[in-house]
Amino acid sequence: MMGSEVLIPILVPLGGCALVFGIVYLKTRENLAMIEKGLNPKEFANRPAPYRNLKAGLLLLGAGLGLLLAYLIDFASPLIDGEENPAIYFALIAIFGGLGLIVSYKIEKKELLDKAQQ
């Protein structure tokens, strides 16, 4: 091992420990701030997330559609000449997954506005 390669076995565990310490520290500070304002932190930790399944479903649906479209483009494209192009797969999975999250946001926003008007 030469040069900066020696630092990797030292810095990776230190970085992991710092990450865990930072998460615990910030969570503790958040709980203390909630207690100071008179709120119960345990109530907020267990609050329901009614649209979690919708969001996950639309994300997976979008990623699946992106993967299918990428496969069809890769299979039918004469420009690639039989070579796989992984950039198409990653790009279309990200695009359609993002579109799924945007649709989820629109549905949630519409539902909340409908509830507020009633």
- Give residue 118's pLDDT: 76
**pLDDT digit string (tens) for 81-93?**
656 778 888 999 9
- Tell me the average pLDDT across 6-11: 89
Question: What residue ranges do the domains of the chain occupy?
Answer: 3-43, 48-117
pTM of the full structure = 0.59
Angle subtended at Cα 84 by Cα 82 and Cα 85, rounded to the nearest 5 degrees: 130
When comparing pLDDT for 78 and 63, which is higher? 63
Under DSSP, the state recorded for 33 is: H
39: region left, alpha or beta (phi > 0 left; psi from -120 to 50 alpha): beta
What pLDDT, on the 0 to 100 scale, is given for residue 50?
77
Q: Which pLDDT score, from 0 to 100, does residue 79 have? A: 67
SS3 string of 49-109?
CCCHHHHHHHHHHHHHHHHHHHHHHHHHCCCCCCCCCHHHHHHHHHHHHHHHHHHHHHHHH
pLDDT tens readout for residues 23-77: 999 999 999 999 999 988 888 776 667 788 888 999 999 999 999 998 888 888 7
DSSP 4: G
